[in-house]
Amino acid sequence: MAENDLTKEMRIIPSKTTEPDRAAVIFGNTIGEKDYASACAAKKRYVRMFGDDSSKIYHLAASPTPVIGTRLGVRTLHLADKKEPALCLGEDARLAGAGEPVVIGTIRMGFGHYRIAMAMASAARALGKTPYWFDVMGFPKTTATKLVAFQNRLYSAGSRMSQKVAPFDKLVWEPMNSEGFRKLSYNASDQKCTELMVPVYRDLPRDVPFIGTHAWPSQAAVHAGLTHVVNAIPDNWPMALHLAEGSLHTVQTQSAYLGYRMLRGMDPERQLVPMPSESIVCTGHYIDHELVQNIETDCAARCERMKKGKPMRFLLSVGGAGAQAQLFEDIIKHLLPAIDSGKAVLFINVGDHDKVWKELVKKLPALAEASCHFGDFDRTAAFAKSALSGDVYGIHAFYDADIFGAVYSTNLLMRASDVLITKPSELAYYPVPKLMIHRVGGHEAWGAIRAAEVGDGTYEMDDTQEVLSMIDLMLSDSGIVEGMCENIKAAKDAGVYDGAYRVVELACAEKLR
């Protein structure tokens, strides 16, 4: 079948002398003409919607990042009017006392990719590097930012609807997140679309270490000709969505390694050619240096609180899409008697979703008496620090309109918490005892499986009554949390939580591939 006008762009098959069209052939697997035509059509559609700034010259500059700039030494890359050294390199870096630059490419889509990026920044700083924040949605008026912002709005709306409309969740959201994003043809479409993001990369040195915490920044970095790109895959469930051929892929678990290596289930019509061994590495969980280095101390503090009969501290973290409001309401309502009797303490981080907090207070008037830490990250940080060794009672709520404060507050509160109540997203891999509530999207399911097998969290609970029953069990039997703490320490000794360090080391290797 002849290709139509939508595919006038040449399909270049990889050879020794040509650069491959990464939407036409993926790890040696040729994409069918129909799917390739669809990928080209998607790119053309986005050009009509958001324009094509491929001929424009953008320059970058760096400035301290809010919140994590001080704590993690992160500098944010943003557009500049004129060309100037955006990164501190070589002798200039040595004279300034700065470490080798590591650019961390990310996007705002929920909180997950930001949180993983923060873990990479933390590890980079611990290894003596200077992390630079490169948010593809952070370059106003560019095609790249418009495209990602549009996709973020769609994803957030879908996440919220999936928790409110059961048929939509069952018939649309779950299948799309588990099987739709899994198809190799989906990667072909993304590869074409991320060609539109290249202009904002042109000021970066080709050999700068670049870590993508979403496939889109990684794909665009490869399209732009960067040579030291590491694509940090967040999920255990193999999905072609997360592929960025030309980069080094990293995964957090051995099961993910085998699934991605085999491109498992990414084309139900054929057995695909596997990824080559040099394209993928299992590194371990992507965790912040501050959390990893304090695992023994924090677990000991939890066990000591259990022995002394102190109230059990629950941390309820609202995701970046703002979904699961009804479940949060049920959990809080169930915990209120235990909080009143001094058996439990509740930390609620609503992130940057102040509407979620207002709605919760409207439905649960008892929350009006909560101690609110809103819009003041320094106050939140001071509270989290004092809670590490001091006593805490009642309900404490946290909100920050700044995305960095919203995300990083959970990192700080985790250390002082006994149980994190979370969906099995990126937080499923963190070294804190976890109660896993129902996922938002089928791809998250294997995160809970991982936590349950490591023993630092429960299995996924998709029934509200089971969640509430587990809360009661934890309150009545502190051995549940103490056992998870022992498993966390054992996992640390085995290097399970060292993934972020390993990713940074790989990106900074003299020869990446």
The CA distance from 227 to 325, in Å, is 43
Q: Both 251 and 370 in a single domain?
A: no
Residue 339 shares a structural domain with residue 416: yes
Query: Does some domain include residue 3?
Result: no
- Tally of structural domains, the chain: 2
Which residue type occupies 215? A
Is the pLDDT assigned to residue 168 strictly greater than 80?
Answer: no
- 296 and 163 together in one domain: no
More confident site: 95 or 294: 294
Q: How many residues does the chain have?
A: 513
In angstroms, the first-to-last Cα distance of the chain is 37
Residues 489 and 504 in one domain: no
State the Cα–Cα distance between residues 217 and 222, nearest whole angstrom: 9
Q: Which of 263, 120, 255 is nearest to 186 (CA)?
A: 263
Q: Is residue 13 very low, low, confident or very high in pLDDT (cuts 50, 70, 90)? A: very low
Same domain, 512 and 471: no
Task: For residues 407 and 317, give the distance between their C-alpha atoms in angstroms, rounded to a whole number.
Answer: 9
Q: Please, which residues have CB within 8 angstroms of residue 328's CB and are 6 or more apart in sequence?
A: 316, 318, 348, 356, 360
Instruction: Say what the pLDDT of residue 180 is.
Output: 65
Q: What 3-state class would DSSP assign to 125?
A: helix
Segments forming the whole domain that contains residue 427: 289-496
Please state which of the ranges 68-82, 122-136, 149-163, 365-379 shows the lowest mean pLDDT: 149-163
pLDDT averaged over every residue in the chain: 89
Token pair of 242, please?
């997360």
Residues 142 and 107 in one domain: yes
Q: What is the DSSP letter of 201?
A: G
pLDDT of 355 > 90? The answer is no
Task: Kindly report which listed range (5-19, 102-116, 245-259, 371-385) carries the lowest average pLDDT score.
Answer: 5-19
Query: Are 503 and 465 found together in one domain?
Result: no
Query: What tokens were used for 414?
Result: 């985790």
Q: What is the CA radius of gyration of the chain?
A: 23
Kindly state whether residues 362 and 445 are assigned to the same domain: yes
User: What percentage of the chain has pLDDT greater than the value 90?
Assistant: 74
| pLDDT exceeds cutoff 50 at 414 | yes
Alpha helices in 165-214 (DSSP H): 166-168, 174-175, 184-194
**Rounded mean pLDDT, 489-509:** 97
Q: Residue 245: helix, strand or coil by DSSP?
A: strand
For residue 132, the cross-strand partners are 75, 103
